[in-house]
Every structure is written in structure tokens, then in C-alpha cells.
Structure 1
Amino acid sequence: MSERVAVDANALMMPVEVGVRVFDELDRVCGDYDAVVPDVVRAELATLSDGAGEEATAASVGADLAARCDTQETDGQYADDALVALAESGAVDAVCTNDGPLRERVLAAGVPVIHLRGRNQLTRTQP
């Protein structure tokens, strides 16, 4: 049975921002997994991609990558809260993010976090 990994906006933006091939790295770290993106993360990427500059480009790429993931409907308005709620409810087995405060909240909920280690590799941190 594959694990469910929730993916945050900043993880989906890694290919442009830090040159990490996020799905190749998730394949390496997780093996068999299903990637899920909360609906509020998709909305966040859509909003960010409307701007200009590198962040907008990264968000546009992130939105394209999110299309490869299942959408998880959530009740929250904020992406971080939605990801923590998914972790707390047991709906996901891990969260992929490079957001420090979110990482701490997910770990406090007892769920592993997959995050950037060094320049271009993801690693898993257990709670």
C-alpha cells in the first residue's frame, strides 16, 4: 500500500526556486506514494502565478506540477492550516514542505516531514 504525501506550494515551486526535481526526489525518498495537494494550495499557486517575476514563474510551474497530484478538499482557508489538519486527521502519511514553521507544526502533530536538505535533495524527518 502506498503512502499519501501532501505537497505544499513551496515544494511544488522548488524546481524553479532551487532547482530540485521534486517528484524525482519524492520517488527516491518515498518509493511508492500518492501525492495529494489541498485545494487551498492550488488556489494559492493560482494567485501567486498571476504576478510577475520569478515567484510567479515558480508558482506557474508549481500549478502545472500540482495537476499530477490528487486534489484533497479541505475546510481551511489557509494552506498551512489545511496541511496540519490533514496530518492531524491521519488523512496523509507525510507532508512535503520547506516552510520551517509549518514543518514544526506537522512534526508536532506526529507526522513525518519531507523537506530540502542541502542544495538539491529531499530528506524525511520523523516526529
Structure 2
Amino acid sequence: MTERVALDANALMMPVEVGVRVFEELDRVCGDYDPVVPDVVADELASLADGNGEEATAAAVGTDLAARCSDQETDGQYADDEIVALADAGAVDVVCTNDGPLRERVLAAGTPVVHLRGRNRLTRTHP
């Protein structure tokens, strides 16, 4: 079964920020999956990429990685709320993030989370 995995901005910026090869790790942890990026996440990355420094570089890489993913339209403006709403509605099967508060909210909604474990490996946590 192909799982729909929503990625947040933090996950898409991990290659630069912590040296994680996100898609290789998702292959290992999830197997067959369809990566999904909510439109508000893509907007957030584009906004961050306009800046300077490491965060802007990470966001630019994240924007490139998001282009490999399916787009998910949302109604809201705050990425974390939209990701939780997608998880709660069953529109995605898994969420990939390294944001602690978002991880807790998604787990509370009953959806598994893929997150950083150690220096450069992802792991899956179930509610």
C-alpha cells in the first residue's frame, strides 16, 4: 500500500541543516510512499529562500525538493495547522517533520510521524 507522506518545511530543509538525505531515508523508513507538500509549506519555503544565510540556502534546497512531491491544496495560512488538519482528516497517512510541537500535535491526531533520530537518520513513531 502506498502511503501519503506530508513533509513540512523543516523536513525539506534537513539536507542542509542536519545532513539528512530525506528521500533516501523515507525510502528506508516508509517503503512505498507518495510525498506530499501542502501549498502553505511551499509558500513558507519560498518566503524563507528570499533571505540570506544558511536558513535561506536550506529553504532554497527545500523548494527544489518540494518540486519532487505532489502538491496538496489547503485553505489556511499556517502550515502546522494545515498539516495537522490533513492528518486529522486522514488525507495523509504519515507526517515527516523534525518540529517537536508539530510532531506531538500530529501524534495526538492519531497519525504516525517520521522524524530525526540521532545525527542523520529518520525513524517512525506511532501514536
Instruction: Give yes or no for TM over 0.5.
Output: yes
Calculate percent identity across the aligned residue pairs.
Answer: 83
**How far apart in 2 are the matches of 1:65 and 1:98?**
16
In structure 1, the residue matched to 2:17 is: 17
Structure 1 stretches of 5 or more lacking a match?
none
Q: Match for 1:105: what amino acid? A: R
In structure 1, the residue matched to 2:115 is: 115
- Off by >3 Å, runs of 4+ in structure 1: none
List per-residue Cα deviations over 1:53-72 (Å, max 9, x = no partner).
Answer: 00000000000000000000
Normalised to the residue count of structure 2, the TM-score between the two structures is: 0.99
**How far apart in 2 are the matches of 1:75 and 1:115?**
25
Normalised to the residue count of structure 1, the TM-score between the two structures is: 0.99
Q: Match for 1:102: what amino acid? A: L
RMSD of equivalent CA atoms: 0.4
In structure 2, the residue matched to 1:100 is: 100
**How far apart in 2 are the matches of 1:3 and 1:76?**
24
Q: Match for 1:51: what amino acid? A: G
**How far apart in 2 are the matches of 1:55 and 1:65?**
15
How many residues are paired up? 127
